[in-house]
Chains A and B, each alone.
Chain A
């Protein structure tokens, strides 16, 4: 892992091509995304003020990001006052070091984890493993991924690429290696699978003395963290252990509880199509006689300040990780999350990963092109992130290089590899289009040779004719027709 990109993954087009051919995967995804799409639409349609809520969500995040320096200090002050300890991590390595040291100080060799994108982004589980500490994922879908020695493919439902039969096999084969084995004769009935997971996890909840979490929101005015989840497993981790370590991206702050109220409406309807979130856990520092005795908040930058410096791209930091954009995306539906080779897949991943980790990596540079720009993501995004606009903006960076911020310092980056021929073609086309005489000459050449055009094109054109016939070239362009029939002036 390297700042959110899985090392050794091919660029998106190759990975996507392989994924598209996987019929089981396509079936699993079509079913899962189709269902949640319809349910989200119904849940959103129930609220007559959805548009206003969405605008409020976007505005609150936008304003908070504009004054993030102020709110971060407020969070530090309030959390400290409430008995917590605040740590600042500039990048993944620093965050991993802080968490590893904190766990070591407790003398424990294992931790339970609440599902968290931030800890995946920094590769915390791997870093802990290197230090001899085992991290147990306790979210059901994360458990499936961990037991299957797999990678998450969705930010909310990490095992969305698996069907019931596959999950049964993973439980039956792998649970024993990690703890309590699956019951004999386990079937693929959802209730049985859930019960197997419950028994397996219960053992870990009762034994664990250290928990690691992320947070969906941090309320600055009181220094309160919020985790929203559907299973209650997160709450077990947040309340039972003696030490709680939360790794939270600096963009997760909302100024006040009134602001939080907006997001607690936007998030469940967008993510799970629920009116209200089933388990919402809130905590402020430590409380005598209730919950963890020690609380550490690790505030993670890891490319966020640099992203904030980009006036077009920074809207990606408004994201509340609801995953509505993944569920509605026609590209994601056909490739699944693994093809993105990144912790954040789908449309949000395509704009977040290249910003958080830079575009020097070939995979990251290919992500902004993983979209037909259909705009479905923007339409559903509860904080109105104009994902297509950011995609195009990042394509510009990939194609031409340009000024970016790296660890707070302005630098100029070079174009990503492989854009020279495309740049020449785009320039040539723009040149011809700026000279209608040249355009007309090209059209006439096309018309004169129309009988000679091959059905299948060589070179880059092959990508078109592999699945599509070409339109037949007309005998006469529109402009020639107009000049001959409608214009007094002959060409």
Chain B
């Protein structure tokens, strides 16, 4: 089984710890991970802001770079959803515009192989107890793409519940969007900030010391809001919790 890590441009640039945690976690579970250096960005920001044509070269690149891998594991719900939900649209719209089959073929090829990290752990490796240790009170925010587009469902909760030392506390209004929304966060900054403030307050009220998600883009918004509020809650990616052991807490 050849497994590639698609770390995503946000993690690569701003949250390299998350990428290193995925590598440590998967290696501990006996998976050899490769990191093709030709990878960059899935094109989500372009596509969602209305620049589908600008996303096309990135779609094509994704197809080239990850050819030949059995699985492409991605520590981001929204980037995984971009590939699975929107690559087929990029492909079919290019075809409808008479610009060939190439992008549609990329979609056909990568969609079934591209998995969000918790999907890969639970569905492919068949594990929920990854042998992690994380002695903190944690609340989980199911990000919109993970929740509604990918339908991650119970997977992240099952993984977190199996972590030794971790106390999982329920987040009130968990299913409500945090207000990030990519360029929405700056195009409609006032609404985004109001949504972020409500989410941050809900997080603080749980009394958790860390808020966990499967997506560092949302985390940048939630964590940035918490930090501005002066709250001591730490934003943490699920990979970093699952990578933690008695010897090394991430």
20 pairs, A vs B, C-beta closer than 8 Å: A13-B189, A16-B191, A330-B177, A376-B148, A392-B47, A392-B48, A430-B51, A430-B54, A430-B58, A433-B43, A439-B12, A439-B40, A466-B193, A469-B223, A471-B14, A477-B12, A478-B7, A479-B7, A482-B37, A483-B37
* CA A433 to CA B62, docked complex, whole Å: 11
- Asked if B204 is at the interface (CB within 8 A of a chain A CB), the reply is no
Q: Tell which of B46, B188, B220, B228 touches A370, judged by Cβ atoms closer than 8 Å.
A: B188
Q: Tell which of B7, B51, B189, B228 touches A399, judged by Cβ atoms closer than 8 Å.
A: B51
Q: Tell which of A372, A439, A474 touches B180, judged by Cβ atoms closer than 8 Å.
A: A372
Which chain A residues lie closer than 8 Å to B144 at the CB level? 372-376
> How many of B's residues come within 8 Å of A, CB to CB?
68
| Residues 26 to 50 of chain B near chain A (Cβ within 8 Å) | 35, 37-41, 43, 45-50
Indicate if the CB atoms of A426 and B184 lie closer than 8 Å: no
Which chain A residues lie closer than 8 Å to B232 at the CB level? none
* CA A370 to CA B184, docked complex, whole Å: 8
Which chain B residues lie closer than 8 Å to A439 at the CB level? 9, 12-13, 40-41
Indicate if the CB atoms of B181 and A371 lie closer than 8 Å: yes
**Interface 0/1 of B194-209, CB less than 8 Å to A:** 1111000000000000
* CA A22 to CA B55, docked complex, whole Å: 38
Q: Tell which of B9, B13, B55, B184 touches A446, judged by Cβ atoms closer than 8 Å.
A: B13
Indicate if the CB atoms of B45 and A398 lie closer than 8 Å: no
- Asked if A396 is at the interface (CB within 8 A of a chain B CB), the reply is yes
Indicate if the CB atoms of B227 and A398 lie closer than 8 Å: no
Binding site for B on A (CB under 8 A): 12-13, 16-17, 20-21, 26, 311, 330-331, 334-335, 368-376, 378-379, 389, 392, 394-400, 422-423, 426-427, 429-430, 433-434, 436, 439, 442-443, 446, 460-461, 463-464, 466-471, 473-474, 476-479, 481-483, 486-487
Contact A478 to B20, CB < 8 A, known contacts A372-B179, A374-B181, A467-B225: yes
Binding site for A on B (CB under 8 A): 7, 9, 11-17, 19-20, 23, 35, 37-41, 43, 45-55, 57-58, 61, 89, 96, 144-145, 148-149, 175-177, 179-197, 220-221, 223-225, 227-228
Which chain A residues lie closer than 8 Å to B179 at the CB level? 330, 372
Dominant SS at the A interface? Answer: helix
Which chain B residues lie closer than 8 Å to A13 at the CB level? 187-190
Q: Tell which of A372, A394, A423, A473 touches B192, judged by Cβ atoms closer than 8 Å.
A: A372
* CA A242 to CA B11, docked complex, whole Å: 69
* CA A470 to CA B20, docked complex, whole Å: 21
Q: How far is the CB of B54 from chain A (nearest CB, A)?
A: 4
Which chain B residues lie closer than 8 Å to A16 at the CB level? 188, 190-191
Contact A471 to B176, CB < 8 A, known contacts A20-B191, A439-B40, A478-B12: no
Indicate if the CB atoms of A486 and B35 lie closer than 8 Å: yes
* CA A397 to CA B190, docked complex, whole Å: 24
Task: Given A369-B184, A392-B50, A434-B58, output 15 extra A-B contacts at Cβ < 8 Å.
Answer: A12-B188, A330-B195, A368-B50, A372-B181, A374-B144, A374-B176, A395-B48, A430-B58, A433-B9, A436-B39, A439-B13, A467-B228, A471-B224, A478-B20, A482-B37
Q: Tell which of B35, B41, B183, B185 touches A482, judged by Cβ atoms closer than 8 Å.
A: B35
Which chain A residues lie closer than 8 Å to B184 at the CB level? 369, 371-373
Indicate if the CB atoms of A331 and B188 lie closer than 8 Å: yes
Q: How far is the CB of B6 from chain A (nearest CB, A)?
A: 11
Q: Tell which of B11, B51, B89, B148 touches A423, judged by Cβ atoms closer than 8 Å.
A: B51
Q: How far is the CB of A362 from chain B (nearest CB, A)?
A: 14
Contact A426 to B14, CB < 8 A, known contacts A371-B181, A467-B197: no
